[in-house]
């Protein structure tokens, strides 16, 4: 019985490695197109809209838009994101949904 379990486990591990090498689990190497909008909100804050993909976070999306580190404090990013999205918290975002993200410049 132990040999059968070992063989089945080995087959499962080999399949998982094969699938990961052929299909991958992360969208590495694919540049995501950002739908940019420089329209300011009611508060005058510029933003861009983007559909969230699996594995993305608010910080990673803003860093991708900036092509570098975020020039403001994380608390400010959370506050700005919540303000743009009617009080929604960044940890509550869902993949497949489009949200407004604050647009920062490197000289903020």
Classify 81 as helix, strand or coil: helix
Q: Which residue has the tokens 């009617």?
A: 86
Name the CA dihedral angle for 89, 90, 95, 101, rounded to a multiple of 10 degrees.
110
pTM: 0.59
- For 25-75, how does the pLDDT look when each residue is reduced to its tens digit (9 = 90+)? 665 555 555 554 444 445 567 899 999 999 999 999 999 888 888 899 999
Give the chain's mean pLDDT: 83
Give the pLDDT score at 43: 53
55 Cβ contact partners less than 8 Å away, ≥ 6 residues apart: 26, 27, 95
Distances (CA, A) of 100 to 30, 57, 72, 77, 78: 22, 13, 17, 12, 12
Give the pLDDT score at 106: 75
């Amino acid at each position: 019985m132990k040999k059968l379990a070992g063989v089945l486990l080995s087959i499962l591990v080999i399949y998982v490695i094969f699938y990961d090498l052929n299909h991958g689990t992360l969208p590495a190497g694919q540049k995501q197109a950002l739908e940019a909008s420089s329209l300011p909100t009611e508060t005058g804050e510029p933003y861009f809209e983007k559909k969230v993909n699996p594995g993305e976070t608010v910080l990673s999306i803003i860093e991708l838009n900036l092509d570098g580190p975020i020039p403001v404090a994380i608390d400010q990013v959370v506050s700005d994101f919540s303000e743009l999205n009617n009080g929604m918290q960044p940890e509550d975002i869902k993949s497949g949904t489009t949200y407004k993200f604050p647009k920062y410049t490197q000289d903020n």
